[in-house]
Amino acid sequence: MSCPRSARDQVKVPVDVAPEARETYIDNYMAATRETGRLMLFACDQKVEHLNGDFYGEGIDPADLDPEHLFKIGSQGVCGVLAGQRGLIARYAADYPEINYLVKMNSKTNLVKTAQDDPYSPQLHDLEAVLAMREAGVNVVGLGYTLYLGSEYEATMMAEAGQLIAEAHAAGLIVVLWIYPRGKAVTDEKAPALIAGAAGVALCLGADFVKVNPPKASDEATSAENLKIAATAAGRTGLVCAGGSTVDAETFLTQLHDQIHIGGACGNATGRNIHQRSLDEAVRLTKAISAITLADYEVADALAVFNGEKDFAL
């Protein structure tokens, strides 16, 4: 799967974008993808999803306890969008107006486990609350929504997501769906067929990008090779992979390179692997990730960026 490269007239605008919002949609798409057609999403929504466990503790830099750490990284690093809840963005955006923001429209904590109840992440507010922030000068380019495919609440979340995408597109905003197969009906969340199915659901709901977990390797194929099936199933919805828990930089960058060049991914969505580091190291990692995602660097060259031996800027 090839990603569209950058001229405004190459952006495939969905027909549910209102004619008067067409140029706004293209502006937002170009800003989010840094004019490459690929998405480098800095995921900062875990303060609800994982509570404070991702921000304080063994192996996590002390700077990560302060929420402003996220915005310093987003400002000083190279990212496409910073994704977070509306309230989080509202508290800091005035001091970081240069960041492209993606407002996460729903969230839930990890306290209630699947064994107790299937997951449901309700929408926290309506689109008007986000559009009001945009009118106030916040650089909101898109929305995000998490959908748990296979949950007994799947139908409710699909209906919410579908309506949200229609309204967002009408207003010229892009939408990224987080889709994770999860619930009592799901025995293997990372089965390649399920990941490909999630990608197809995102396309049918109208998402511009879908964030999925990398599929597991099988006897016949590597994880990246199985990802190619999902990327193809996603059609004109760009597929990006979740970054997962923190690993060493070389391993992470190698996986990312394979996801794009073998798996056909159109970018990445990374949170913990970035923000659990010191500010300097986190900024360098955003540059290394973006070097691969946005500029097709090889792993060795991106690693040199992470190590401070080279710089990367757009």
3-state SS class at 267:
strand
Query: Is residue 95 exposed (0-12), middle (13-18) or buried (19+ Cβ within 10 Å)?
Result: exposed
The pTM score is 0.96
pLDDT of residue 243: 84
3-class SS of residue 245: coil
pLDDT tens digits, residue range 223-246?
999 999 999 999 999 999 998 787
Residue 2 has pLDDT above 70, yes or no: no
Q: Is 92 a catalytic residue?
A: no
Query: Angle between the 154-170 and 192-205 helix axes, to the nearest 10 degrees?
Result: 40
Q: What percent of the chain has pLDDT over 90?
A: 96
Tens-place pLDDT, residues 274-313:
999 999 999 999 999 999 999 999 999 999 999 999 999 9
- Predicted local confidence at residue 6, as pLDDT: 67
- pLDDT for position 5: 58
Predicted confidence (pLDDT) at residue 4 exceeds the cutoff of 90: no
Residue 7 binned pLDDT confidence (cut-offs 50, 70, 90): confident
Helix residue ranges, H only, the chain: 22-32, 46-49, 68-76, 86-92, 127-135, 154-170, 192-205, 223-233, 249-261, 272-275, 279-295, 299-306
Over 60: is that where the pLDDT of 3 sits?
no
CA–CA separation, 171 and 174 (whole Å): 9
126 contact partners, CB below 8 Å, separation of at least 6 = none
User: What is d(CA 46, CA 109) in angstroms, rounded to the nearest whole number?
Assistant: 9
Q: Does position 1 have pLDDT exceeding 60, yes or no? A: no
- 180 in catalytic set: yes
> What's the pLDDT band for 186 if we cut at 50, 70, 90?
very high
Q: Which residue in 29, 145, 148, 180 is the catalytic one?
A: 180
* Given 47, 104, 211, 228, the catalytic residue: 211
pLDDT of 127 higher than 70: yes
State residue 246's pLDDT score: 79
The confidence band for 194, taking pLDDT boundaries of 50, 70 and 90, is very high
* Residue in 294, 258, 260, 253 with CA at minimum distance from that of residue 274: 253
Q: What is the pLDDT of residues 31-66, one digit of tens each?
A: 999 999 999 999 999 999 999 999 999 999 999 999
Kindly report the average pLDDT of the chain as a whole number.
96
What pLDDT, in 10s, does the model give residues 155-170? 999 999 999 999 999 9
pLDDT of residue 143: 98
- Is the model's pLDDT at 153 over the cut of 90? yes
Separation CA 167–CA 177 (nearest Å):
14
CA distance linking residue 153 with residue 118, whole number of Å? 7
Lowest mean pLDDT among 82-96, 219-233, 242-256: 242-256
Contact at 8 Å (CB) between 142 and 102?
Answer: yes
